[in-house]
Structure 1
Amino acid sequence: MEDAEMEDFITQHAASLQPVSPDIIRAVPAHQALCRFARPLRGGPPDHRASYQTSRISTFWSHSWHGNPWLKALTALWLYNSLPAAVVSTAGALVAAGLYFLEILPGLDYWEKGYEYPRSLWASGVGIVLYGTTLFLWPARQPIFLDILCIDQHDSARKTAGILSMGAFLKCSESMLVLWDRTYTHRLWCIFELSAYLHSRPDGAKHNLVVRPVLLGPCYLLLTLALTSITVAVGSIPEENKAVLWSTQAVILAVAFYPSVASYRQYFRALEGLHCELETFTLQGTECECCRLDHVRNGERLACDRQVVLRCLTSWFGSAAHFEELVRSEVLQTLMHELSTEFFRYKRCIAPLIPVAWSYLDTASAEARKHWGVGRHLYTEVTKELVRGAAWWLCVVPSLLLVFLRLAHCLRAKPSKPCCDLLINALILLCVVAMFLAAVQLEFACMLAHSAIVPVDSDWRGMHTAMMFFAALSLPAAALLFRCCGVRPVFPRFDPRKNCHTFEEAPADRSQATQGKAGTRIQL
């Protein structure tokens, strides 16, 4: 078969979005792709036997095999297993706290050793162990497509049929997950998958295109690990000397969060790089393996993938130039809005901060164990710790995180000198530590105000009332902060007339940014 005839044959099948045969369309449960630290996603041995024939695929995983495999693996694990991990670990932490309260689990009498409040580390310890175990072992059942598992890599005929049916795989997929890295937009077949998915949606239907930078998972996992380290370390510090306590807490906070600062700044630099790449996107800048090999492998001629993809794009979008314009305009606008706001949404901040809740489950169970049988004192002390924990987990720490992320976003640029980069990270940490100490002082001021205002014989006498006052102040402050700083991100836009970047705000109405051609919905 001549090269032109071969390209026509491949184009005809690929552009039709129909499978070569019905048994070619296959899916695997997500846990098969995530097993052994997502080994298949890291280029592990293909296991086609794990897949099964289907007519419905929940999510098509699109990624570049030229990117960092460990970053992809951690992000995929976090996307599919972080919520079950948070639920299972918190349930385990609750059980551990209850067992400690019932004196089934051993503990130390901290209040007799220079500690102002009783302590326990059972909830935090059990929580982080269950979190890690569930994250890596949870049997996620969603049917997904991953090329190395769903296309037979050992039978050359079925492998060819699977590649020809790639458009059919996309047509059968309800959503598409793009694990984005810097190599993604430079790989021609990645662009083909993206374009085929957009074309395969019915007119007027919403396109559930989900884009996740591969740095997303490591950033969130580093945050959870840092918070666990902080809460465990801070809970072990004696409280007799407040100055030593607060200073030590600040130092621990700075040391534990430094890797997170560097990671988040790198994440925002990656977003800026993606923005620039999409603004200037052309198919000419993409690479394909066949052209690199000069269309010869093992002495045999190869059809040109570039010509096949260009013909498919012309068939689907009218012309390749029209598709390029679609990427540079509608896809870029929607995508950057979602990517820029990802870290600034309240619901995204809560789950990674779950170690804060574990910490206060520890203190509540320790108070209950110490004051069991004391009656009202038991009620007030346990309520105090639970309300205090809710205030810090749901209000104070999310606010600190939001400020931290905003600073990392604004100061994301990497200076030429490494020492300047260290100073920028230190500046961000200093601001966060200052806000943390301010929150601690506000909590302390609420306690002092409560002691001065509430009469000794009042039913409201007790630090639980002070913590309610602290929560009442923290909640509106957090709501206001997320309202003002958690939306409408600012990102650079390239102006070809001035040959430079200008800054513009994302649309205030999210519907303006999340609706593209044919109702396209692109989310993070």
Structure 2
Amino acid sequence: MYKSGLDVCIGVPSEFPERGVTASATSSNGWDKIGVDVAEAETSSNGSGALPSMEWAADHVAEGTIQFLVSMQATKPEILRGIMVHRFLQHAPLIWARRTGLDTLHGLSEVTTTLDEFWSHSWQVKAYLKYINILHRHNSFSAFVVGTLCAFAAWALCVAGILPDGPAWVMTSRFWSTPAGLVGYYLTLFMWRRQKKAFLDIACINQTDDLIKAEGLVSMGAFLKRSETLFVLWDVTYVSRLWCLFELAAFLHSKGLGTDAEKHLVICPVFVGPALVLGQLGLAAMTVTFSISQLEFIPWGLVLISALAFPFFMLLAYVVLAHCRSIEMVQDQVRNFTIENSLSFCCSCGHVHPQTGSVMLCDRSIIVRCIAAWFESVQEFETIVRGKVLKLLVHQLANQVFSYWRIVQACCPLLWFYLDLPSVHDARETLKVAAIASTYSFMLMPAAALICLRLAYRMRKLFHGRCRKLLFCIGLVAAGALLFAVGWAFDFFLETLSVLHFGTDLPGNFAFLVIAGVVNLLLWYGLPDET
């Protein structure tokens, strides 16, 4: 979690006695004992006033730290802080733009007793990737709902004759639903006030006062114990980071090792949010470009859409393939997981701070003691990670990263685009477009996406090297296009039959909606999970 973990804050025993009295005067639950013990060392060496030894002080500080971490208590109530999700999402970009540093987020946090989420992450991951994932997790569904309501509102105003038809330079008759949906979506995405409280290390732990920062780190178990959900921003280095493993161990210990604990552990690869946001933007750009092109759908409109879609879907196919291959890497890492091979800052620099030259306590020894106390032994924890945690990781990464609703949200510009298509204000035409829009946005696109995802996962081991990956991505895009073409051809076939037997294509549209809905339901809920 922290680049330097506990070591920077409490890893300089010679500086600790100076602040020991202050700590004892303001803290509770035994934290003051750490400061008092070290302060007493100043006068304990035969009355000379010298410290008995550096090792003596370090051992006493480490023992007190371990006791607090194992008990999962806070040094004092005001140490427990959380930040409202909407405050972080709205203020972080401004802080980045002003280059004032995220330390200023601490002023936005507030004292709390419970937390909805604990955000666990590796410092190796870029800040903007973390931000986009948190933004998408908390605001994307609300943005989808509001954007779609705005698109339907614009459509209703057009039907009522309040809004005029689209300008002459667009192909669709109205062109109001798509812009209204996009404006509503992105305003909501960035401005939605998500009423959840989360733990973010740099916001909830004071970064300027070393003593308060040390108390926050020692109280890390209390933060995890009071968190409803552990939200893990996953990258391939996560399982090798000692502090990340400590957070995972503390959370599992606080929730127990049953199925209930698994419900509160959410794994999110760092590329998922950006991929889905780019997917939504790309689809919006394609629909808008096609609308203003004034081209007939067949043949030149189809050529234009294909030219725009190919590089975009190639990028998505590459991301999906990389994701599927990363699952294999995660399995290999976790199967061979040991605490001994995990990385910590203090051990990497020989327990001497590279900037100040101060002696640092060893994070590894403290964390190993805590894990052994929670799980009876380090070996038992390693067994749990290689067993239950591995199973949970693979299940979420293989089956829940690209969920149904995430795909629907990414495809929402297609739904808005269809609302602009009716050329007359006719109830039958309106019902037809509603059926087609629902079929393609909620049924056909998610079903095709799921089949391509399963295909990529099953064939992930067969493609090594750039040329093979490129060929596979082309094949994956072709498979998706073929599935979409088959659905479109079947829709056309049903419309033709409907016109022959009923004189209108409306029954055929609704028949396709029902059939596609059944197929989609069977695919998403009938296919066995990947393992």
Which residue in the other structure is 2:524 paired with? 482
Which residue in the other structure is 2:34 paired with? none
Deviations 1:452-511 (A, max 9, x none): 222xxxxxx4332221122233222323333454x321xxxxxxxxxxxxxxxx4xxxxx
Once residues 148 and 233 of structure 2 are traced to their aligned partners in structure 1, the CA distance between those partners, rounded to angstroms, is: 28
2:109–2:203 CA contact under 8 A, matched in 1: yes
Deviations 1:187-231 (A, max 9, x none): 111111111111122686822111111122122222222322333
Deviations 1:270-303 (A, max 9, x none): 2222222111111111111111232222132211
Once residues 267 and 256 of structure 2 are traced to their aligned partners in structure 1, the CA distance between those partners, rounded to angstroms, is: 20
Secondary structure class of the residue paired with 2:103 = coil
Once residues 127 and 313 of structure 1 are traced to their aligned partners in structure 2, the CA distance between those partners, rounded to angstroms, is: 50
Once residues 307 and 357 of structure 2 are traced to their aligned partners in structure 1, the CA distance between those partners, rounded to angstroms, is: 63
Work out which of the residue numbers 410, 414, 418 in structure 1 matches 2:466: 418
1:381–1:463 CA contact under 8 A, matched in 2: no
Residue identity opposite 2:346 in structure 1 = C
Once residues 260 and 92 of structure 2 are traced to their aligned partners in structure 1, the CA distance between those partners, rounded to angstroms, is: 33
Q: Does 1:12 find its partner at 2:51?
A: no
Alignment of 1:413-492 (within 5 A): 413=461, 415-454=463-502, 461-485=503-527, 487-489=528-530
Residue identity opposite 2:255 in structure 1 = R
2:275–2:319 CA contact under 8 A, matched in 1: yes
Work out which of the residue numbers 275, 279, 295 in structure 1 matches 2:331: 275
Residue identity opposite 2:376 in structure 1 = G
Residue identity opposite 1:173 in structure 2 = S
Q: Does 1:124 find its partner at 2:178?
A: yes
2:238–2:244 CA contact under 8 A, matched in 1: yes
Deviations 1:91-125 (A, max 9, x none): 21122222333444443477xx997xx53322112
Which residue in the other structure is 2:432 paired with? 384
- TM superposition shift of 1:441: 1.6
- TM superposition shift of 1:129: 2.7
**For residues 184 and 295 of structure 1, do their structure 2 counterparts lie closer, same or farther at Cα, with a shift above 3 Å needed?**
same
Q: So what's the TM-score if we normalise by structure 2?
A: 0.82
The structure number with the bigger radius of gyration is: 2
Residue identity opposite 1:464 in structure 2 = L
- TM superposition shift of 1:311: 0.6
Secondary structure class of the residue paired with 2:331 = helix
Which residue in the other structure is 1:144 paired with? 198
Name whichever of 80-89 and 98-107 sits farther off. 98-107
Higher share of residues assigned strand: 1
The aligned length equals 469
Once residues 57 and 312 of structure 1 are traced to their aligned partners in structure 2, the CA distance between those partners, rounded to angstroms, is: 22
Q: Does 1:94 find its partner at 2:152?
A: yes
Alignment of 1:237-256 (within 5 A): 242-256=298-312
- TM superposition shift of 1:238: 5.4
Secondary structure class of the residue paired with 1:219 = helix
Which residue in the other structure is 2:286 paired with? 230
Which residue in the other structure is 1:74 paired with? 132
Which residue in the other structure is 1:195 paired with? 249
Q: Does 1:356 find its partner at 2:393?
A: no
Residue identity opposite 1:52 in structure 2 = E
Gaps of 5+ in 2: 1-37, 39-55
Work out which of the residue numbers 297, 300, 308 in structure 1 matches 2:366: 308
- TM superposition shift of 1:235: 4.2
Sequence identity (%): 31
Once residues 93 and 440 of structure 2 are traced to their aligned partners in structure 1, the CA distance between those partners, rounded to angstroms, is: 34
Once residues 223 and 302 of structure 2 are traced to their aligned partners in structure 1, the CA distance between those partners, rounded to angstroms, is: 57
**For residues 439 and 127 of structure 1, do their structure 2 counterparts lie closer, same or farther at Cα, with a shift above 3 Å needed?**
same
Alignment of 1:48-59 (within 5 A): 48-59=106-117
Q: Does 1:265 find its partner at 2:321?
A: yes
Once residues 136 and 308 of structure 1 are traced to their aligned partners in structure 2, the CA distance between those partners, rounded to angstroms, is: 40
Residue identity opposite 1:401 in structure 2 = A
- TM superposition shift of 1:150: 0.5
1:343–1:349 CA contact under 8 A, matched in 2: no
Once residues 329 and 92 of structure 2 are traced to their aligned partners in structure 1, the CA distance between those partners, rounded to angstroms, is: 28
1:67–1:182 CA contact under 8 A, matched in 2: no
Name whichever of 43-52 and 62-71 sits farther off. 43-52
Which residue in the other structure is 2:235 paired with? 181
Deviations 1:236-259 (A, max 9, x none): 565757344444444443233222
**For residues 11 and 81 of structure 1, do their structure 2 counterparts lie closer, same or farther at Cα, with a shift above 3 Å needed?**
same
Once residues 286 and 170 of structure 2 are traced to their aligned partners in structure 1, the CA distance between those partners, rounded to angstroms, is: 20
Secondary structure class of the residue paired with 2:400 = helix
Residue identity opposite 1:7 in structure 2 = A
1:342–1:348 CA contact under 8 A, matched in 2: no
Deviations 1:310-333 (A, max 9, x none): 111111111111101110001111
Residue identity opposite 1:193 in structure 2 = E
**For residues 120 and 420 of structure 1, do their structure 2 counterparts lie closer, same or farther at Cα, with a shift above 3 Å needed?**
farther
2:178–2:420 CA contact under 8 A, matched in 1: yes
1:34–1:40 CA contact under 8 A, matched in 2: no
Alignment of 1:12-51 (within 5 A): 12-36=67-91, 44-51=102-109
Once residues 307 and 407 of structure 2 are traced to their aligned partners in structure 1, the CA distance between those partners, rounded to angstroms, is: 23
**For residues 359 and 37 of structure 1, do their structure 2 counterparts lie closer, same or farther at Cα, with a shift above 3 Å needed?**
farther
2:283–2:414 CA contact under 8 A, matched in 1: yes
Once residues 203 and 274 of structure 1 are traced to their aligned partners in structure 2, the CA distance between those partners, rounded to angstroms, is: 21
Which residue in the other structure is 2:45 paired with? none
Secondary structure class of the residue paired with 2:343 = coil
Alignment of 1:278-427 (within 5 A): 278-297=334-353, 298-343=356-401, 345-363=403-421, 366-367=422-423, 370-371=424-425, 378-413=426-461, 415-427=463-475
- TM superposition shift of 1:51: 1.1
Alignment of 1:149-160 (within 5 A): 149-160=203-214
Once residues 285 and 383 of structure 1 are traced to their aligned partners in structure 2, the CA distance between those partners, rounded to angstroms, is: 62
Which residue in the other structure is 1:216 paired with? 272
**For residues 475 and 237 of structure 1, do their structure 2 counterparts lie closer, same or farther at Cα, with a shift above 3 Å needed?**
farther
Name whichever of 151-160 and 476-485 sits farther off. 476-485
